[in-house]
Amino acid sequence: MVSYKRLNPENVQFSGALLSEEHHRPAQEDVAVPQPDSTSLLPRRLSCSITKVMLILGSLLLVLFGGWLLHTIYWLRTTSVQAHRPPPPAPGQALGPVLQADINDTVTAARSKACSAIPESWRFDCYPEKAVVVTQELCEARSCCFIPASGSTRGRSRKNGIPWCFYPPDFPSYSLVSSKDTSMGLKGTLVKDVKTYYPGDILTLEMEIRHETDTRLRVRITDPSSSRFEVPLSVPTATKKAENPEYVVELSKQPFGLVVKRKSTGTVLLNTTVAPLFYADQFLQFSTALPSRFIYGLGEHRSTFLHDVQWNTLTMWARDVPPTEQTNLYGVHPFYLAMEDGGDAHGFFLLNSNAMDVALQPGPALTWRTIGGILDFYVFLGPDPGSVVQQYVEVIGQPAMPIYWALGYHLCRWGYKTSNATWEVVKRMRNYGIPQDVQWNDIDYMDQAKDFTFDPMNFNTLPDLVRDLHAHNQTYVMMMDPGISSTQPEGSYWPFDEGLKRGVFIKDAEGKTLIGKVWPGLTAFPDFSDEATHEWWYENLQRFHEKVPFDGLWIDMNEPSNFLDGSTVGCPSNSLENPPYTPGVLGGLLRSKTVCASAQQKLSTHYNLHSLYGLMEAKATASALKRILAKRPFVISRSTFPSHGSYSGHWLGDNRSHWKDLYTSIAGMLTFNLLGIPLVGADICGFSEEPQEELCVRWTQLGAFYPFARNHNSLDMNPQDPTAFSPSARTAMKQALLLRYSFFPFLYTLFHHAHIKGHTVARPLMFEFPKDVKTYGIDSQFLWGRSLLVTPVLEPGVDYVDGYFPEGLWYDFYTGDSVSSKGEELRLSAPMDKINLHLRQGSIIPTQEPNVTLWISSGQPLHLVSALSDDGSASGDLFWDDGETIDTYETERYTYVAFNVSQNTMTSSVLHSDQEGSFLSIDSASFYGVKQKPSAVLVNSQKFPFIYRDNQVLSVASLGLRLTQNFTISWM
């Protein structure tokens, strides 16, 4: 039998050019993998022939027994042994009953000892099915170890517990029987001869290892005899093998296993030898050891930013459900980022869209368990966390550059009830001088909840409202659901009639239009995997835009959500609806509150495409808006998948007006930034339940620093827009929003870097301080870019907040007062009208005088704020364009200026200029951390008046400098 154990040098085969200096290194020398004492744990009889039995019984009984016993006690140490034992003796050829019983007892004892030797944290679940009480009989029928976990009273731990049934070290798996070098890496054939307990075992596999770049490794494991579903995501195709990869790849032949190490440190990033590989038609599974417990990503789930590895299973299958712990939510993102000892980071991406479980355990280790497709995965070498995200989005697609007003304040609710009531809220916001760029409407604007309609009675003035918004440099966004009403009289509802004629709707297993139920009643669902549907979707939006000239779209309910399980006629009973293994999806069935898994789409079955539905709708919607508006499209989607950021932003779903939801929104925002969707935010003040004034004030302060800032609440709840509260609360909210608008040039530049370089906008502290382990779990604070530290109040009834300050100089944004930290937590004053902001040493950020819309404030002069390092240096930049034209960077219609401070002199360098930049001027500048009062300040070599304060802040004003002309400001 084969063993899952620490590999010896002779077990390892190196790929390609890695054969040389690494040839004698053990493949797992740095990984704590258990080494049980015995080999055979499967219930098999002795592997001996009749001749051997007779000879042994005749003359060498004791020698055989002693040798056999030693063989069962110790692990097999080389890969030259057979992958599996020979068949057991045929019936009638067994040993004598007394000797057989003795040997069986010995086998049982050896098996028990080997199972017991596996530490609890390294036990990989052999019976992951839900709603099954696993007995010893069931477990051993799978040839697995059965040991009740210490301190447990349950038949098997279901969630967050040690498995009672787990793989023995000799569980049968694949062997690498042949391999050959290729121009990109290596190809190999994997074979196994013992089928496992899931049907449809694929016994021969093809593995391809591709050294795509120095920091990106790709591995594909496929069925060479039959094509299987592959995610239709456009990924880069490398044509040249990496010349100096930062990774080392090692292969175990028998059992097959893959080990990936960081060349510079030897850290094991991936180690699949810790548990068996499964590759059946509807069950694919592999496990890996992790270098640490610091794991992030794996969206979409409501949790802390740092995932818990204490027996924590995260299920992925797009689902309409309010954010809830231990539940599969709206999006699916099979990507994680892991921190290593010393501050390095790497990433892992499984390109698979089928329903899956990702099981974390305290080894630390992780198991991928998916029910379709292929195994196609990437390892990203970083080495810093930001570089990991950059390398990931190079594969899935860079985030889109948002239209400028997307970064303003958005206001929405379900329950305005009339267009005039909506209009009144907008007018109140204007009257109080509270910034607002975008007004939204939820589903109540529609006529009987039908897409591409508006209520002719209650929303009869909707077109007038939109025209008024445009006259005030504001914009309008409306909801659009995918469910299309199917019950209107023939000829009365063009979207359904035309869609039926063109065949754009999802079909059931019999080829008939599948009918479910959503807000308008019985509905059909567009098949966005079909290009014909994209054209139909565009034509519907174009026709509606002629009536209501909307500026952007909110695509909701696109998991897709269904009020029924499957359809009006149910779903067929087959393996797609009831697979051999169903991940831990809410409801227990793949069809729970969505369409049938067996439903037919143009590209494949819904079983394969379900979690891609929101992405495909986002692509169709963004494309349609580009054609209709000839501007950057604004789309906000609920359901998401990798590459979604290229087409759409995301809001974190139907949260609640609770303090806990306020806190968890930060983790959600940070997670989606590392998933390549930087335009993200939560519903400010909470969506459901009655908003509390204090909570809403604090939430508005935090929400002012969401990359996407929208206040949204639910039907029949009290209003929660800023005008609905007391004068003091309203003032505090207004101040927070004006603060956001003043940061617009900085925020817009951050989105430029996200679009071009794959940077995060809202950023966890650990991204900038990866060597400071204290930052690894922080999700109550965050950064904008590398420069601005945000420390919000997240608890009721306090006028202070505790925040962690990594080592270095930090400056209070409002005053310029400095804090020199050694890496410590500090208590900050936080009255009701304040959110704490600090600038990091060495940064320069551009700000503007804010106004009620970004259109107005973006024309105001700039103010530059420099936070000097201890040596007096700082740097920053500004990207500027017209804010709405598509691909301005790609077509070089932009201005880009770099700022630098060194040796008491600020310089600007215009690296690229365009007409839009010529309209901006720089009116003032502040320098935090100027240690001595200057005797003079020179602006372009001319003396200039200045102000110097005791807290070492130097300010100059009324500069009148053109952005597109280089300048200097110096002091002496």
DSSP E strand boundaries for 895-949: 895-902, 905-912, 921-928, 937-939, 942-944, 947-949
Phi, psi of 40 (to 5 degrees): -90, 120
User: 556 an active-site residue?
Assistant: yes
Measured at the CA of 968, the angle between CA 964 and CA 972, to 5 degrees, comes to: 165
Instruction: Output b/e per residue, 153-183; b: 16+ Cβ within 10 A.
Output: eeebbbeeebbbbbbbbbbbbbbbeebeeee
Name the one residue in this structure whose structure tokens are 């007018």: 427
Kindly list the distances between the CA atom of residue 180 and the CA atoms of 208, 213, 636, in Å, as whole numbers in the listed order: 10, 20, 47
SS3 729: helix
Rounded CA-CA distance 83/177 in Å is: 10
Residue 462: count other Cβ atoms within 10 Å of its Cβ.
Answer: 24
Name the one residue in this structure whose structure tokens are 């995200």: 389
Tell which phi-psi region holds residue 822, choosing left (phi > 0), alpha (psi between -120 and 50) or beta.
alpha
Calculate the CA dihedral of residues 322, 327, 332, 334 and round it to 10 degrees.
150
Rounded CA-CA distance 313/657 in Å is: 27
User: 102 an active-site residue?
Assistant: no
Residues in the chain: 972
**Strand arrangement, sheet containing 635-637:** 680-681, 649-651, 635-637, 552-555, 475-480, 438-441, 409-413, 709-713, 683-684
Q: Which helix (H) or strand (E) holds 141?
A: helix 136-141
Cα atoms in the Cβ-side hemisphere of radius 13 Å centred on 437? 26
Angle between helices 727-742 and 693-703 (to 10 degrees): 10
Chain-centre distance of CA 415, in angstroms?
31
- Evaluate whether 926 touches 958 at the Cβ level (below 8 Å): no
Rounded CA-CA distance 321/414 in Å is: 17
Computed on alpha carbons and rounded to an integer, the radius of gyration of the chain in Å comes to 31
Query: What tokens were used for 327?
Result: 């539940």
Rounded CA-CA distance 168/191 in Å is: 20
Name the one residue in this structure whose structure tokens are 């494991």: 221
Q: Kindly name the residue from 559, 768, 881, 916 that is annotated as catalytic.
A: 559
SS3 448: coil
Calculate the CA dihedral of residues 219, 225, 229, 233 and round it to 10 degrees.
40
Rounded CA-CA distance 947/954 in Å is: 6
Rounded CA-CA distance 780/666 in Å is: 7
Phi, psi of 567 (to 5 degrees): -165, 180
- Evaluate whether 125 touches 163 at the Cβ level (below 8 Å): yes
Rounded CA-CA distance 260/289 in Å is: 11
Angle between helices 744-757 and 727-742 (to 10 degrees): 50
Residue 348: count other Cβ atoms within 10 Å of its Cβ.
Answer: 25
Rounded CA-CA distance 818/811 in Å is: 4
Q: Kindly name the residue from 357, 444, 455, 556 that is annotated as catalytic.
A: 556
Burial of 575 (0-12, 13-18, 19+ CB in 10 A): middle
Rounded CA-CA distance 921/878 in Å is: 12
Active site residues: 556, 559
